[in-house]
């Protein structure tokens, strides 16, 4: 599935885009196809972030579950003579090797450890795409982006989820209007170089 802003596009596994074994090149091909189709209006949006979210039966051959849980980058795409720097990323469902990309492996706030783990990685990659969209903005001397500086830390204020078998640190709105509970990795704050999962320092 590709998510661009609030637009969602679904794509079944297809040999056109690598089937169930995606390479980085196939991810880019899929993004370009969806960004230039009617799915997002026919023209890539420079201010959008396109995310490829895969199901658990889809692998990413450059190192998903062994080297990374997600990544972001950009590519210049030309449509109708207009070139647009398109920001995009990949986040896979880690259910096949859940401990590689999740800290809650048997239970999670929404009773779906694989997808809940994806939400945390989505937040991580979105933060980094905003602060380092073209890989030449915010990173430290070792190449770590703001999310990397706080990766896999969740703060000291964890709340028992409604299932009483997992924990969360952030509440976000859902399509139904009911607040959703999520365990989200923290990110670095510009103001004081501390790690936060939300804007309240007393909770971190």
Domain borders along the chain are: 1-92, 97-204
Average pLDDT over residues 126-155: 94
Which residue do the tokens 């972001």 mark? 72
pLDDT of 147 > 70? The answer is yes
Strand partners, 9: 2
Q: Which of 127, 57, 123, 126 is nearest to 92 (CA)?
A: 57
Query: Distance (Å, rounded) from C-alpha 137 to C-alpha 64?
Result: 25
Which pair of tokens denotes residue 62? 């450059």
Spatial contact of 103 and 153, defined as CB atoms under 8 Å apart: no
Tell me the β-bridge partners of 87. 49, 74
Residue 164: the pLDDT is 96
Quick: pLDDT tens for 46-97: 889 999 999 999 999 999 999 999 999 999 998 778 889 999 999 999 999 9
Alpha-carbon gap, residue 93 to 182, rounded angstroms: 16
Instruction: Determine the Cα–Cα distance for residues 34 and 4; give it in Å rounded to an integer.
Output: 9
Distance CA 118, CA 114 (A): 6
* pLDDT tens string 22-58: 999 999 999 998 888 767 667 788 889 999 999 999 9
pLDDT at 204: 54
Question: With bands split at pLDDT 50, 70 and 90, how would you rate the model's confidence at 104?
Answer: very high
Average pLDDT value for residue range 122-136: 95
pLDDT at 196: 87
- Per cent of the chain over pLDDT 70 is 92
Got the DSSP string for 88-126?
A: EEEE---GGGGGGS-S--S--TTS-HHHHHHHHHHHHHH
């Amino acid at each position: 599935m590709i998510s661009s802003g609030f637009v969602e596009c679904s794509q079944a596994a297809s040999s056109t885009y690598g089937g169930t074994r995606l390479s980085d090149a196939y991810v880019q091909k899929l993004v370009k196809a969806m960004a230039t189709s009617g799915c997002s209006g026919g023209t890539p949006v420079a201010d959008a972030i396109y995310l490829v979210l895969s199901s658990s039966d889809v692998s990413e051959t450059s190192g998903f579950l062994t080297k990374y849980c997600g990544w972001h980058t950009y590519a210049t795409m030309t449509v109708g003579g207009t070139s647009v720097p398109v920001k995009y990323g990949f986040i896979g469902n880690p259910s096949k090797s859940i401990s590689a990309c999740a800290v809650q492996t048997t239970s999670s706030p929404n009773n779906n450890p694989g997808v809940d783990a994806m939400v945390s990685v989505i937040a991580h990659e979105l933060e980094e795409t905003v602060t380092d969209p073209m890989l030449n903005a915010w990173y430290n001397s070792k190449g770590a982006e703001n999310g990397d500086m706080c990766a896999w830390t969740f703060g000291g204020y964890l709340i028992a989820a409604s299932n009483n078998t997992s924990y969360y640190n952030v509440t976000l709105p859902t399509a139904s209007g009911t607040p959703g509970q999520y365990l989200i990795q923290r990110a670095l704050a510009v103001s004081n170089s501390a790690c936060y999962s939300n804007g309240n320092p007393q909770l971190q």
